[in-house]
Amino acid sequence: MTLQEAGRTAGSSPRATARWAAALNLLSAVPDGFSVSVLRKVVVRGDAAATAANVLGSEGVFRLGFVADLVALVLFVASAVLLYDIFRAASRRAALLFLVFIVMGSAFQALEAIQDLAALTLLKGGAAMSAVPPAQANALAFLFLRLHSYDYQLGLFFMGCSSLVMASLILKSTFVPTIIGPLMMIDGLGFLTFSLTGFLSPSLVTRIFPYVPLVTAAIGEGAFFLWLLIRSVDAERWREQAATGG
């Protein structure tokens, strides 16, 4: 890649691209946080009947919750595409791997909407569900909502992998502070710990939450995206590294 071609990559301004990536990522936290809060409010641990009553009693908010989740994922993937455009200057292969992990994690999390709709369909009944007794419908709906949580944890596994790859990209880059690399490692390890603990020892998850993964994410992603939003990247060093092909 020549210096002139590098100047055209990531648009006319790599600084603007980096800021857009940060803004989209931070913005995605709003609908994502709303979606998580809705699920935590309607699901009553170990009580299918109470959960069913909560879902039916706030159906509109419940539907809005999983729609908000989809909106958050769109913003998140858009941010990742822009980050790929910026960090391929450091390593094209690693940046592509980062993007693949993001897409995989987002795809698994998007499946949560199907499980939420399945739970709602069971609870609302109708002609198609008339043969299912209410108690059984409640139990099946509760199971689908539990599967929602497992999909979320599976998605976080790939998000954790993407954060570790991004950490390596930051360490290899010359256009963002190196110190952010280890912070992103903390972020990635937090997601991996939370995800794998949920699969291996579910009872332990409640003990490490919210320190893992919320605090670890705030440490890593908070520092990374706030830096990109406020200070952005060093454009001259970015163009120099892009010109050498990373």
Interval 161-182: pLDDT, tens? 999 999 999 999 999 999 999 9
User: 23-55, pLDDT tens digit by residue?
Assistant: 999 999 999 999 999 999 999 988 999 999 999
**Mean pLDDT for the stretch of residues 189-218:** 93
What pLDDT, on the 0 to 100 scale, is given for residue 125?
78
The Cα–Cα gap between 174 and 244 comes to 12
Number of domains in the chain: 1
**Mean pLDDT for the stretch of residues 209-234:** 95
What pLDDT, on the 0 to 100 scale, is given for residue 1?
43
* Token pair in block for residue 61: 């908010």
Q: How far is CA 223 from CA 26, 150, 160, 238, in A?
A: 11, 28, 16, 19
Query: Would the pLDDT of 10 be above 70?
Result: no
Single-letter amino acid code for the residue at 140: L
Contact criterion met (CB below 8 Å) for 1 and 243: yes
The Cα–Cα gap between 28 and 207 comes to 27
pTM of the shown model: 0.90
Q: Which structural domain, as residue segments, surrounds residue 152?
A: 3-243
What pLDDT, on the 0 to 100 scale, is given for residue 12?
58
Contact criterion met (CB below 8 Å) for 204 and 177: no
What is the percent of the chain with per-residue pLDDT over 70, rounded to a whole number?
92
| Best CA proximity match to 175, nearest among 220, 222, 235 | 235
| Best CA proximity match to 105, nearest among 195, 224, 214, 9 | 195
User: 101-156, pLDDT tens digit by residue?
Assistant: 999 999 999 999 999 999 999 998 754 555 678 889 999 999 999 999 899 999 99
What pLDDT, on the 0 to 100 scale, is given for residue 132?
74
